[in-house]
Structure 1
Amino acid sequence: MKLWEKGIPTDQKIEQFTVGNDRELDAVLAKYDVLGSLGHAKMLAKTGLITQEEAIELSTALETILATIEAGAFRIEDTFEDVHSQIEYLLIEKLGAAGKKIHTARSRNDQVLVDIHLYLKDEISTIKTLVKNLFELLMHLAEKNQHVLLPGYTHLQVAMPSSFGLWFSAYAESFIDDITLLNATLQIIDQNPLGSAAGYGSSFPIDRAYTTEALGFSTLKYNVVAAQMSRGKSEKTMAFAMSSVAGTLSKLAMDVCLYLSQNFNFIELPAHLTTGSSIMPHKKNPDIFELIRGKCNKIQSLPYELTLLTNNLPSGYHRDFQLLKEGLFPAVESLKSCLEMAHYALKGIVVKEGIFEDPKYQYSFTVDAINEMVVNGIPFRDAYKIVAEQIENGTLIIPGNTKHTHQGSINNLCLEEIRQKMNGSY
């Protein structure tokens, strides 16, 4: 069954090519297609386009389908083009003429728009929760290890003293930026496109404000052409927000891989969180974090894939939009999985103490030595030269500890302020 079927059979090769894997991908949207149809049916009754009795029949049948979906028993059969045609068929099969009325005053174009908007709203909420959970773990680790020094690097050369408290909370605060982008994406997506029909509105006296409230949207996408143009823009905006989360997570995963190596040896993971080698029995490989890094780097390519799919398309609907789901839907699942696994693995992380006992880190404190001279009245440039000479002739006396007092430094992590910032953003 096809919603556009006119009794003329479609060439099988054309059908196979145009449908592609849409049935599998559309299974993700089944719940949201039902929810959109529930709101639409109630609006049709409110405006007198169907009777209240028909609306009740449709709602009851849709609730039954929703229960099937939530039980994991819903299937899009091969004889149907997509989720929309499968659900409409079930309504017609059960209700007859009343089922045929569900598509009044809407098009498959605004139907799929509603589905995707509702789906993305839910997924943003889930991703935000997973990010917040990881944030809380990182903040706990920062507080627990705030006084354990960690060498800082620039250009992969030993630079200045850092700390595990500084390292963990750096990623925690970075995730707040990602939450901000997810919130901005939600603002763009949380607009009701239903009623835009094929992209040019409807001659029926529909009530779009009613469906906006019924479907839980914050506002209406008023201009019907603008509503249609949100297809592609919504997915691309979501991809950029996900890319931001993935970028933070990928960098964290790279740090973990680096710090786990014997050359750095800053941290440990329990053996059950690592993998081995088929020929080297001593290996404890950080496969979890390598895969997180790889998957997140793949997610970071998604905005460009979606940009190339939609770039320079004129206004109105185009079948190109169908391909957006192929990249977006798996990426959403991949990102959620990466966030969950990062949280799971980092719970077992063990930080090493006494790292600075290694002689190669003795010059990490040169800036602190310079600053002590400056505090005692020596101009910075002169102090810099003095310390440089002492390094060359081996007479530099290394400060025993750090005395960083400004906000966000080793000895003043501002963890409570970071928590407040997250609470304000979340």
Structure 2
Amino acid sequence: MKLWDKGFSTDQKIDHFTVGNDRELDLLLAKYDVIASKAHAKMLGSIGILTETEAQTLCEALDRIGLQIEKGAFTIEDSFEDMHSKIEYLLTEDLGDLGKKIHTARSRNDQVLVAMQLYLKEELTQIKKSTQELFDLLLQLAETHKQVLLPGYTHLQIAMPSSFGLWFSAYAESLIDDLYFVDAAYKIADQNPLGSAAGYGSSFPIDREKTTRDMGFANLKYNVVAAQMGRGKVEKATAMGLGALGHTLSKMAMDVCLYMSQNFDFIGFPNELTTGSSIMPHKKNPDVFELIRAKCNRIQAVPMELTLITNNLPSGYHRDLQLVKEALIPAISDLKACLELMHFSLAQIQVNPNILDDPKYDYLFSVDTLNELVQQGMPFRDAYKKMGQDIEAGNYSPKRDIEHTHLGSLGNLSLDGIQKKMEEL
């Protein structure tokens, strides 16, 4: 069944190519098409296109379909093009001609838009919740391990003292920046496009404010052409939010992979969180973090993929837009899994408390030793030269009793300030 069926068939090759994997992806979106269809039916009843009884009957039938979806019993067979055609078929099978009335005053275009935006709102809310949970864990770890020093690097060369307090809370605060992008995507998605139909509105006197309220949108996309142009744009905004989080997670995963290596030996994990080698019995590999790194790097490519699909399309609907969900929906699934596994693994991290006992890290303290000379009255440039000469001559003695007191430093992590930023967000 196709919603645009005019009584003739499409060549099977054309059908297979144009449908693609819509049926599979639509199984995730069908719940939201039911929600939107109920709001649409209620609205049609309120303006007299349907009787109140007809609207109620349609809503009850849609509830039954929603229950099938919830139980995992909803399927989209090859004879159906997508979730919309299958849901309308089930309504017609159940209610006869009344089921055929559900498509009055709407198009598959605004059906896709509203289902996708309802889906994105829910997924972005869950992603924000999972990010908050990871943030809370990172701040907790920062507080727990704030006294444990570790080397800071620039150019992958030993640079200055850092700490696990700085390391954990740096990633916590970075997550706040990422959520600014997520919130922006949510705000774009939180505009009701239903009623834009094929992109040019409807001659029926529909009540778009009612459907906006009933579906819980904060606002509506007023201009019907703008609503249609939002297709692809809201997905790209979401992808940018995912990509921001992916950037932070992949960077932290890379740090973990380095710090776990025997050459660093900064951190460890229980054996059950690592994997082995088929021939090297001593191996304990950070596979989960390598996959987080790879998956999150792939997620960061999604905004560009969506840009290339949509950037030269004129206004109005084009079938190219079907492909945006093929890129976005798997990325959402991957990011949620990465957030979950990062939280699960870091909750069991083992920190080495004696990293800087190794004399190879003595040079970490050269800047603090230099600064002590400056505080004693020596001009900075002279102190810098003296320190360089002492190091070269082997006369350098590190000042290990460092004192960093400014906001955001080793001795003043400002965890409460970081926490407040998240609460305000």
How far did 1:204 drift?
0.4
Structure 1 SS opposite 2:400: coil
Q: What's the CA shift for 1:59?
A: 0.4
> What is the DSSP-based 3-state SS (H/G/I as helix, E as strand, rest coil) of the residue aligned with 1:231?
coil
2:36 counterpart residue number: 36
Find the counterpart in structure 1 of residue 7 from structure 2: 7
Q: Secondary structure at the match of 1:158?
A: strand
Cα distance in 2, alignment partners of residues 211 and 141 from structure 1 = 45
| Superposed displacement of residue 390, structure 1 | 1.1
AA paired with 1:11?
D
CA contact (8 A) 1:259 1:265 kept: yes
User: What is the rounded CA distance, in whole Å, between the counterparts of 2:143 and 2:260 in structure 1?
Assistant: 21
TM (norm. structure 1) is: 0.99
The Cα shift of 1:396 comes to: 2.0
Does the 8 A contact of 1:402 with 1:411 survive in 2?
Answer: no
Does the CA-based 8 Å contact 1:36-1:215 persist in structure 2? yes
CA distance in 1, matches of 2:366, 2:381: 13
Which position in structure 2 is the counterpart of 1:109? 109
Tell me, in whole angstroms, the C-alpha distance in 2 between the residues paired with 1:402 and 1:93: 77
Within a 5 Å distance, the mapping from 1:138-287 to structure 2 comes to 138-287=138-287
More deviation, 393-402/367-376: 393-402
SS at match of 1:160: strand
Q: Identity rate of aligned residues, in percent? A: 64
The list of structure 1 runs, each at least 4 consecutive aligned residues, that deviate by more than 2 angstroms after superposition, is none
1:355 equivalent in structure 2: 355
1:288 aligns with 288
Q: CA deviation at 1:378?
A: 1.1
Displacement of 1:393 in angstroms is: 1.6
- Does residue 328 (structure 1) correspond to residue 328 (structure 2)? The answer is yes
Letter in 2 for 1:240: M
Count matched residues. 425
Give the Å deviation of 1:375.
Answer: 1.3
Q: CA deviation at 1:389?
A: 1.2
Q: Report what 2:55 is aligned to.
A: 55
Q: Tell me the secondary structure at the aligned position of residue 403 of structure 2.
A: coil
Separation of aligned partners in 2, 1:219 and 1:348 = 43
Q: Which amino acid aligns with 1:63?
A: D
Deviation at 1:165, TM superposition (A): 0.4
Q: Which residue of 1 aligns with 2:368?
A: 368
Q: Which residue of 2 aligns with 1:18?
A: 18
For residues 171-218 of structure 1, give each alpha carbon's deviation from its aligned partner in whole angstroms, at most 9, with x where no partner exists: 000000011110111111100000000000000000001111011000
Q: Give the deviation of 1:401 after TM superposition.
A: 2.0
- TM-score scaled by structure 2? 0.99
Cα distance, 1:386 vs structure 2? 1.1
CA distance, structure 1, for counterparts of residue 121 and residue 114 of structure 2:
11
C-alpha separation between the residues in 2 aligned to 1:318 and 1:98?
30
Structure 2 residue matching 1:150: 3-state secondary structure: strand
What amino acid does structure 1 have at the position aligned with 2:130? L
Structure 2 residue 417 is matched with structure 1 residue 423: no
Which residue identity does 1:33 align to in structure 2?
Answer: D
* CA deviation map 1:347-374 (0-9, x unaligned): 1111101111111100101110111111
2: CA distance between counterparts of 1:266 and 1:37?
Answer: 55
CA distance, structure 2, for counterparts of residue 338 and residue 402 of structure 1: 37
Aligned partner of 2:312 in structure 1 is 312
Unaligned runs of 5+ in 1: none
For residues 222-265 of structure 1, the C-alpha deviation after alignment (integer angstroms, 9 at most, x for no partner) is: 00000000000011111111000000000000000000001111
The 1-side partners of 2:222 and 2:58 are apart by: 27
In the TM superposition, what is the alpha-carbon distance from 1:397 to its structure 2 partner?
Answer: 2.3
1:400 CA drift (Å): 2.1
**Greater mean deviation of Cα atoms: 276-285 or 6-15:** 6-15
Amino acid at match of 2:295: K
Tell me the distance in 1 between the aligned counterparts of 2:148 and 2:20: 55
Hey, what's the Cα distance between the residues in 2 that align with 1:311 and 1:185? 18
**1 CA distance for matches of 2:264 and 2:182?**
35
- 1:130 corresponds to which residue? 130
| Matched residue SS, 1:69 | helix
* Root-mean-square deviation (Å): 0.7
Runs of at least 5 residues in structure 2 that lack an aligned partner in the other structure: none
* Secondary structure in structure 2 of the residue aligned to 1:146: coil
TM-aligned CA deviation for residue 150 of structure 1: 0.6
CA distance in 1, matches of 2:267, 2:309: 43
The amino acid of 2:402's aligned partner reads T
Between the aligned partners of 1:359 and 1:375, the Cα distance in structure 2 is: 26
